[in-house]
Amino acid sequence: MTAVSDGAAPQAAPAQVAPAAAPWRARFSWAMFDWANQPYFTVITTFIFVPYFTSQVVGNSVQGQSLWAFTQAAAGAIVALGAPFLGAIADAGGRRKPWLLAFQALLGLACFALWLAQPGKPEVLWLVLVALALANISAEYSIVFNNALLPGLVPPERMGRLSGFGWGMGYTGGIIALFAVLIVSRPELIGITPPPGEALLGLKRDSFEAERIIGPVAMLWLAIFALPMFLFTPDRPGSGKPLGQVVREGLRRVIGTVAHLRQHTNTLRFLIAYMLYYDGLNAVIAFGGVYAAGVFGWGTTELGLFGIALTVVAAPSVIAAGWLDDRAGSKRTVQASIILVTLGSLGIVSITTSSILFGLDVPAKTAEMGLFGSTGERFFFLCALLVGLGMGPMQAASRTMVARLAPPDMLTEFYGIFSLSGRATSFLAPMLIGIATALLASQRVAAVIVLVFLTAGFIMLWRVAEPKR
């Protein structure tokens, strides 16, 4: 591991696994993993399903936001505790793909269970919450092992571009998935008039089948588009060691690594900074759509169009940021991204139903106003686009930073620790949001908590020295 003590110049990053780029098919297939998984994050957890679940299935947007926050907190705690150990075990065993396959299968099954989320059936509420938690855990564990494949595909000076391309592919997949949801649920937008009470494909509006079908379709999407990664992206060879020995070695390694992290002050600073700013970003992503649904009463149409606009901005920005990452460095790319997300979040927290910018009165939304017809909605849109510009580059450049710091034979373990740092307090922001929302009966407090985490992460990142390449 590259260690930089306080006041010392950054040392050269360790040699990477791949001295030359892998074939284009291997690299493209690796990026397809982001395409395959992004609809879960875009359509289910951010823009469509969870806002539908909190407002319609739970039936109360404030209570729904609180339940979703506590579910996120529980899942985040499990991810934080397990990711480093799973990563170290995979490093000891050599192969990453078997782990990927197992967690992708669990993610697909959890998504399929979301079909049960029907309003007026309180008996399925907790089953759906468990499915959402399992999906979150499986998706995050999958990312640990997929990230660890990155340094084996390109040399260090090109990792930023491939990482950014992968995120860009993911956002593109998210856009297409959002379009599909809108067309199915609101075919009137493209001039198709279904029979009364139905959406496209005969889905019933009164039982919200267009929203509930999102989970099973996400499972099908995942199965189809994750397949190229399993077929064409190279994995490390297995060690041939018995499973029991692999588990014991992995546990010893991660305990030893964590115990000695304080010897690597520069890397430790980065992990703490990431822990803070990534927690803030996750809260923005998790609660942005929920907040808009509660404040403005947005439904599937508004949330879908909002998500498409946000993702259209995010996709090219993250691809461009990959070039910036390779030229200006991962740290500067992340810093610029945090500033954009913070400005957008600050604007969002300034909005109420009848004011913007912390007290500037604007007309409240009325039934007579058209789509996004109120000033508050338009200002929310503008602020959210700033978040969209920064969220992808922040995640892609952070992923690259770990690859530049980690020893080649400990990549999965360090991506597990990276996931731990991103999840160690991931329960904290949702938990604080859940508690504050329940106590104050206000959704607005979520954005304030987000700002605290983003600011603290930016301050800690300022002291991180990026290794020379």
CATH number of 375's domain: 1.20.1250.20
* 387 inside domain: yes
pLDDT at 15 over 70: no
Look at the alpha carbons of 141, 92, 274, 389 in this order and tell me if their dihedral is positive or negative. negative
Q: Higher model confidence: residue 39 or residue 420?
A: 39
Lowest-pLDDT range of 3-7, 326-330, 350-354: 3-7
Query: pLDDT tens digits, residue range 329-365?
Result: 788 888 899 999 888 888 877 776 777 777 787 777 7
**Over pLDDT 90: what percentage of the chain?**
14
Look at residue 18 in the predicted model and tell me its pLDDT: 42
Q: Ranked by mean pLDDT, which of 28-37, 88-97, 198-207 comes out on top?
A: 28-37
Average pLDDT over residues 242-260: 73
Across the chain, how many H-helices and E-strands are there? Answer: 17, 2
356 forms beta bridges with 360
pLDDT at 236 over 90: no
* 467 inside domain: no
Q: Higher model confidence: residue 340 or residue 186?
A: 340
198 forms beta bridges with 204
Look at residue 164 in the predicted model and tell me its pLDDT: 78
Tell me 10's DSSP state: P
* 9 inside domain: no
Query: pLDDT tens digits, residue range 76-99?
Result: 788 877 877 777 777 777 678 888
The C-alpha angle with vertex 38 and arms to 215 and 220, in degrees rounded to 5, equals 40
Tell me 468's DSSP state: B
Q: What is the dihedral of CA 93, 22, 229, 145, to 10 degrees?
A: 40
Find where tokens 């690597």 sit: 264
User: Using CA atoms, how far apart are residues 179 and 175, in angstroms rounded to an integer?
Assistant: 6
Q: Tally the domains of the chain.
A: 1
CB-neighbour burial class of residue 464 (10 A; exposed 0-12, middle 13-18, buried 19+): buried
User: Using CA atoms, how far apart are residues 418 and 147, in angstroms rounded to an integer?
Assistant: 10
pLDDT at 184 over 80: yes
Look at residue 445 in the predicted model and tell me its pLDDT: 64
pLDDT at 10 over 60: no
pTM score above 0.75? no
Distances (CA, A) of 258 to 301, 405, 457: 46, 15, 20
* 4 inside domain: no
pLDDT at 422 over 70: no
Mean pLDDT over the full length of the chain:
78
Look at residue 231 in the predicted model and tell me its pLDDT: 93
Query: pLDDT tens digits, residue range 132-143?
Result: 999 999 998 898
* 83 inside domain: yes
Instruction: Give Dmax over CA atoms of the chain in angstroms.
Output: 70
Check: CB of residue 211 under 8 Å from CB of residue 227: no
* 396 inside domain: yes
Average pLDDT over residues 289-298: 72
Check: CB of residue 64 under 8 Å from CB of residue 438: no
User: Using CA atoms, how far apart are residues 302 and 186, in angstroms rounded to an integer?
Assistant: 11
H helix or E strand, kind and range, residue 360:
strand 360-361
Distances (CA, A) of 438 to 289, 430, 433: 18, 12, 8
* 7 inside domain: no
* 381 inside domain: yes
Query: pLDDT band at 4, cuts 50/70/90?
Result: very low
Query: pLDDT tens digits, residue range 106-128?
Result: 999 999 999 999 988 888 888 99
441, 138, 453, 146: which is closest to 272 by C-alpha?
A: 453
Tokens of 363: 């007309």
Query: pLDDT tens digits, residue range 423-468?
Result: 555 666 667 777 776 676 665 666 677 788 888 889 888 887 776 6
Q: Is 117 left (phi over 0), alpha (psi -120 to 50) or beta?
A: beta
Residue 205: give the domain boundaries: 24-461
